[in-house]
Amino acid sequence: MKKTWIKRGLIGLLSVGVLFGGLAAYAGNRFSHMSEADMARMRVHVIERVQKELVLDTTQQAKLNTLADVLQQQRAAIKGGSADASPREAMQRLIAGNAFDRAGAQALMDQKLSAVQKAGPEVLTAAADFYDSLRPDQQEKVRAFMARHGDRFGRG
């Protein structure tokens, strides 16, 4: 019984995490030029789509919104705020001199990893709370979605 719960929990958490993490990563890379208003519209669209596909009740919708909030906060923390340079500009700074700026690269990597580690437990909790609130038929839809579209999140 315990192994089943652990396995089901990990699969569910992974599925929801990949779904929203993939969306956040895709949005962060492909749509990094988008304004905050554009990102807000995209977030509304994604939430509406998930609500429509899974037919969420009020409690589930609240947990989905919490998850979206947490992911948005994590994305902002990783990005470093709007004043931070783009990834391209950050890389250009690292190779601006005659030698690669190893200390600068390490500091940049430490900053990004720290942001992920700091927000990680909150993201996991929000993803788990949302997934655990789903009925078995809704969870099956998430798993089926991941089976059909899961490999898309791994490509650039």
Residue 70 covered by a domain:
yes
Q: Residue 106: inside a domain, yes or no?
A: no
36-50 mean pLDDT: 87
Q: What is the pLDDT of residue 122?
A: 92
According to the model, what pLDDT value does residue 72 have?
85
Cα torsion 53, 147, 34, 84: sign: positive
What pLDDT is stored for residue 83 in this prediction? Answer: 47
pTM for this entry: 0.66
In a domain, 20, yes or no: yes
pLDDT at residue 45 above 80? yes
Q: Is 73 within a domain?
A: yes
Q: What percent of the chain has pLDDT over 70?
A: 70
Number of domains making up the chain? 1
The CA distance from 25 to 154, in Å, is: 10
pLDDT, mean of residues 57-72? 93
Range of the domain at 32: 2-82+120-154
Query: Distance between CA atoms of 2 and 148, rounded to whole angstroms?
Result: 28
- pLDDT of res. 65: 94
